[in-house]
Amino acid sequence: MAEYFNLKKDITIQPFSVYVNQDICLTVTGLGKSAMAAGVAYTQALFTSVQHPVMVNIGIAGHKDHPLGGLFLINKIIDIDSQRNYYPSLTFTPPCPTSSIQTVSKSLPVYDQSNLCDMEASAFYETAVRFTSSELTLCLKIISDNQLSPVGNIQPKQVAGLIKAHLALIESLLTQVVATAASITVSEPKLFESLIQRYHFTVNERMQLKNQLSRWDSITDYQSLEFDNAPFNCGKDVLRWLDLKINNTDFYL
């Protein structure tokens, strides 16, 4: 993957293996939710100046019946430990099949009947959307094991080969999402300045507010928002209200 995108390893970075070019950063996080959450946060800290970062998790997953090598774009993530569900926003017609996935802390002895299974997706998504919008957060999973070829058979070289087979499609997906990011990377979203003057937002909440307002502009083609009659006491109330509005709004494609 590093060779395909002409990425060079940054030898000055120690916590993770990081490969970069002018536009792309590839961070190798390793297995598990903790490693993934740390890797996403660390990567974001390296590029805080990017207004609307595109974040993509490219990894492997198991399934009872799907053949090895199949690529799926994830549209629902189920965290088995917390029983929380996440729904990545897909604002384009996917060029590959979509699927739900369940994230577990350790490999299960029996494959789920309907969902893919991995050990990182929920941590990736939950952390990534703290720094960017759901529309710019993709989770791509390649089938690495099934009931005929269980997880114990997986070899590193095999995984590299499975990913390599899909690099052209992955590049196409990146191009689409980067175009979405470019369309909303503008000056401060409407209402941003007035809202931060009226209500208290922490630094992190201001970042979330900017992303939420940009999301609203993107998915509604800049429809107006009416805040005057909403009962807000603080910035968190505004963010909750915005989240509900966005989740209950149809996309304009």
Residues 60-79 have a mean pLDDT of: 95
Query: Helices (H) and strands (E) in the chain — how many of each?
Result: 7, 9
Own/partner long-range contacts of 28-35 (Cβ < 8 Å, ≥24 apart):
29/120, 31/119, 31/120, 32/105, 32/119, 32/120, 32/123, 33/103, 33/105, 33/119, 33/120, 33/122, 33/123, 34/123, 35/120
DSSP H stretches of helix in the chain: 33-46, 121-128, 156-164, 167-184, 192-198, 203-220, 235-247
Q: pLDDT at position 39, please?
A: 95
**Is residue 10 over pLDDT 70?**
yes
Cα separations (Å) of 145 from 85, 111, 158, 194, 240?
Answer: 23, 10, 11, 52, 39
Q: Side chain identity at 52, as an amino acid letter?
A: H
Residues 15-28 have a mean pLDDT of: 92
**Is residue 172 over pLDDT 50?**
yes
Own/partner long-range contacts of 45-49 (Cβ < 8 Å, ≥24 apart):
46/13, 46/18
CA distance 207 to 73: 27
Q: How confident is the model at residue 253 (pLDDT cuts 50, 70, 90)?
A: very low
**Is residue 113 over pLDDT 50?**
yes
The C-alpha angle 247, 60, 181, rounded to 5 degrees, equals 40
Q: pLDDT at position 228, please?
A: 65
Residue 196, helix vs strand vs coil: helix
Q: pLDDT at position 186, please?
A: 53
